[in-house]
Amino acid sequence: MSTDSNLNEEEAREQLLDLAADFYDQFDQGNVPRMQIPTRTKTNIEYDEAEKVWVYGDRSSTRSAKTVSGAQKLLKATYTIDFLADQLDQDRSSTLRELYYLSESWDLDEAQFNSQDESNNLIEDLEIVSEVKREDFHMRPEESGAKVMGPLLLREQTRRGDRDIHCQDDVGQGGYQIPNNPDTIEFLDNDADFVLAVETGGMRDRLVENGFDDDYNCIVVHLGGQPARATRRLIKRMRDELGLPVVVFADGDPWSYRIYGSVAYGSIKSAHLSEYLATPDAEYIGIRPEDIVEYDLPTDPLSDSDVNALESELEDPRFQTEFWEEQIELQLDIDKKAEQQSLAARGLDFVTDTYLPERLTEMDVL
Amino acid sequence: MSTDSNLNEEEAREQLLDLAADFYDQFDQGNVPRMQIPTRTKTNIEYDEAEKVWVYGDRSSTRSAKTVSGAQKLLKATYTIDFLADQLDQDRSSTLRELYYLSESWDLDEAQFNSQDESNNLIEDLEIVSEVKREDFHMRPEESGAKVMGPLLLREQTRRGDRDIHCQDDVGQGGYQIPNNPDTIEFLDNDADFVLAVETGGMRDRLVENGFDDDYNCIVVHLGGQPARATRRLIKRMRDELGLPVVVFADGDPWSYRIYGSVAYGSIKSAHLSEYLATPDAEYIGIRPEDIVEYDLPTDPLSDSDVNALESELEDPRFQTEFWEEQIELQLDIDKKAEQQSLAARGLDFVTDTYLPERLTEMDVL
């Protein structure tokens, strides 16, 4: 899958139509049409130590028209390819949910989807087999990307034409809203030293109010909990194209470590997109369990589900590093978690005057 | 409470300090200090038929220093007033969560909050008693406002100075991000005929892609589920200051009717803010249960909790209108609900070419 550039509509369309042409050729040669895709279960996902992302293993399964249900799957695939090719032709876009509903308007009842899971899975299959990512099919995510504040000038292609936007000078306090397909963005210029991805809105606003983006030439990206695809993609592009270090600042609990994991390593569910979405050298700045001890932060006790989540992180190859094992074991030991905003117990400026600068210096980012 | 204008820092500060001065005077006159606030329980909330919003009834309760716990509450109130007065003096802001954590840094242990509920409630008490809303204390909400796209030119005061932003020409596809305190916005110019508040991101993106904001001179405001305070406030200001009709477009289920309710009538929990946040003449455009029948939309069956929610809406004075009673009873009868995006079953342009224009004409908005 191409990671650096946005496929143009024509290329994406051709790669889709090639799939349909394969079915045609198989028929033509007297063969039963079939489509081979990597098995997408946990047992066929491997952690690629070199690339530091999840990738599919060697096993694959076959959708064949030999069975009625297999034939129906291929029928749905051809209708969907036809819809996507038209959509690209007309330079339009749609969401997964719209695709599901739209299939009700198709002339053949057997081609209609029975559930949204079915249409979602088909799109993932097509992404994997065609090696075109859904944004290049013009399938928009439902979830909005987050917002950006920092010394970055970008150009976004919009339906009204190109817009040049500086993410400090041309936006309000809310910042620049990441569009659903961030590959419509071109980076024009920047004066940034690093990217700081922040979990909570309250902390994002604190950093912006304190002028952290100005004082430290930092692009503040709000994650807003589990980050949307668009947000992860933009962070990855800032790393690759602008060469900026990326650090993730989140609450000090196992769910926030997963947020870090989704930025850095991608997810099992979207292993085929790791190259496109993951930023393997993103680093975790905090809140770390050691901060709870060192800064005597206000805490809450771990719940049972926190403990389970921490234990399953210890089993997760992504977290099997000296750093994470030490931090997670310390957390299980002290039986406490702390929120980002608990740093306010040391005053509203502690995070920007002391905590982040000290940590960024230790991490060689400053 | 002043609804039209943003209190300046000096006025807000004075109203807060007056509260503290009251305690002082009470001491000085040899009285036990006390603070009287309206009782904030469901039984003391009344639906104001004339204003069409929730307001507090006549009952009030008294926080008196006669008891240890009452004295401690007043102590916490004075510390909080002191913090807020300083914050206004320095033109800074903070979140409710930061206030809770920050109290750990106060010199007197008895003044520190024991839980976030306690600090949240105190801020609400202070809002009610001082008649200053929390945004004017510079308490920022945690939750981000949503985004705006449409023919509107505004000026926002930011920490870097004023920014003039046109919500079509100066923004990307994601639109203009509403800041936490939308009273920093001044409306400069607009070419809009109405405001369309949209529940889901997928539908918001559909309207923007189809150019609905251009074709119908419409300001599209994304609600993003239950709308944030900032979003409700901005919608109310568009109604009051720009004289624009407001219509709400949401899924066809009881939870979405509540979203409409929070835009139009405010909530019981924030009855003291109804004048500031609610837009009583906002109308509900759909999805209506009658649409499910009329357009034969793809549906899901009602769950038990859907049915319970619909039944409790029938008991809710806000929904005791002919329109809502008819729709809710129809929905209980057909036992179905439908999402906004199910309109895609009629094609991706049906919503913008047919559904919305027909409905807006019926409603006399177009």
Model pLDDT for residues B269-320, shown as the tens digit of each residue: 777 788 889 999 999 999 999 999 999 999 999 999 999 999 999 988 888 8
- Angle separating helix axes A322-334 and A254-264, nearest 10 degrees: 160
| Mean pLDDT, rounded, for B155-182 | 95
Dihedral pair phi/psi, residue B146, rounded to 5°: -95, -155
Instruction: Note whether A222 contacts B177, CB cutoff 8 Å.
Output: no
What token pair was written down for B218? 């419409």
CB pair distance less than 8 Å for A143 and B201: yes
Contacts of residue B205 in chain A, CB cutoff 8 Å?
Answer: 93, 95, 140, 180
How many Cβ atoms are within 10 Å of A268's Cβ, its own excluded? Answer: 14
Mutate to test the interface with B, among A348, A351, A353, A355 (most CBs of B within 10 A): A348
Residue A325 has pLDDT above 90, yes or no: yes
Q: Give the least confident one: A254-268, A300-314, B244-258.
A: A254-268
pLDDT digits (tens, 9 = 90+) for B75-129: 999 999 999 999 999 889 999 999 999 999 999 999 999 999 999 999 988 988 8
C-alpha count within 13 angstroms, C-beta hemisphere, residue A352: 19
Q: Which of residues 309-338 of A touch B (CB under 8 A)?
A: none
Does the beta-carbon distance from A344 to B224 stay under 8 Å? no
Q: For position A225, what pLDDT does the model report?
A: 83
In Å, how far is B177's CA from the nearest CA of chain A? 5
Closest Cβ–Cβ partner in B101, B169, B184 for A298: B101
ipTM of the complex: 0.89
The answer, for A179 touching chain B at a CB cutoff of 8 Å, is yes
Number of CB pairs, chain A paired with chain B, less than 8 A apart: 166
Q: CB of B300 within 8 A of CB of B262?
A: no
Q: Please give the Cα distance from A360 to B322 (Å, whole number).
A: 61
Confidence at residue B6, expressed as pLDDT on a 0 to 100 scale: 53
Which chain B positions have a beta carbon within 8 Å of A101's beta carbon?
A: 298, 339, 341-345
Strand order in the sheet with B161-166: B161-166, B152-158, B185-190
From CA A51, how far away is CA A278, in angstroms rounded? 10
B153 touches chain A (CB under 8 A): no
What string of DSSP letters covers B155-186?
Answer: EEEETTEEEEEETTTSS-TT-EEPPS-GGGEE
Q: Assess whether pLDDT exceeds 50 at residue A1.
A: no
How many CB atoms lie under 10 A from the CB of residue A334?
Answer: 15
Taking residue A364's Cβ as centre, other Cβ atoms within 10 Å add up to: 8
Tell me which residue in A98, A172, A348 faces B179 most closely, judged by beta carbons. Answer: A172
Looking at residue B273, its pLDDT comes to 83
From the list A98, A247, A1, A244, the residue with the least C-alpha distance to B341 is A98
3-state DSSP assignment of residue B253? coil
* A248 touches B at CB < 8 Å: no
pLDDT tops 50 at residue B3: no
CB-count burial class (<10 Å; 0-12, 13-18, 19+) for B218: buried
For the purposes of burial, counting CB atoms within 10 Å of the CB of B288, is it exposed (0-12), middle (13-18) or buried (19 or more)?
A: buried
Average pLDDT, chain B: 91
> How is residue B70 written in tokens?
């009452």
What band does A143 get if pLDDT is binned at 50, 70 and 90? confident
* pLDDT score at B4: 40
Number of helices (H) and strands (E), helices first, in chain B? 14, 17
| pLDDT score at B293 | 95
- Is some CB atom of chain B closer than 8 A to the CB atom of A347? yes
Residues of B forming the active site: 101
Contact status of A341 with chain B (Cβ, < 8 Å):
yes
Q: How far does chain A reach from its first CA to its final CA, in angstroms?
A: 34
CB contact at 8 A, A238 and A195: yes
Contact B187, B152 (CB under 8 A): yes
Find the CB nearest B344 among A101, A173, A177.
A101
Which residue of chain B is at minimal alpha-carbon distance from A176? Answer: B177
- C-alpha distance across the termini of chain B, in Å: 34
The residues in B 53-112 lying below 8 A from A, measured between CB atoms, are 92-95, 97-98, 101-102, 104-105
Positions of A annotated as catalytic residues are 101
Contact residues on chain B for A348, CB-CB shorter than 8 A = 92, 94, 98, 102
Map tokens 């036990």 to a residue: B32
Q: How far apart are CA B3 and CA B14, in angstroms?
A: 18
Question: At B107, which amino acid appears?
Answer: D
B301: helix, coil or strand?
A: strand
- Structure confidence at residue A50 as a pLDDT band (50, 70, 90): confident
DSSP state string for B64-122: ETTSHHHHHHHHHHHHHHHHHHHHHHTT--EEHHHHHHHGGGSS-GGGS-SSHHHHHHH
Q: Which amino acid is at B225?
A: G
A233-237, A242-246, B180-184: segment of lowest average pLDDT? B180-184
The answer to whether residue A4 scores a pLDDT higher than 70 is no
CA distance A151 to A189: 9
What is the mean predicted confidence (pLDDT) over B129-142? 87
Residue A127 in this model has a pLDDT that exceeds 70: yes
Q: Of A71-85, B85-99, B173-187, B265-279, which range is least confident?
A: B265-279
For residue B3, the distance in angstroms to the closest alpha carbon of chain A comes to 22
Report the alpha-carbon angle A266-A116-A258, nearest 5. 20
DSSP 8-state assignment for residue A151: S
pLDDT confidence tier of residue B1, bands split at 50, 70 and 90: very low
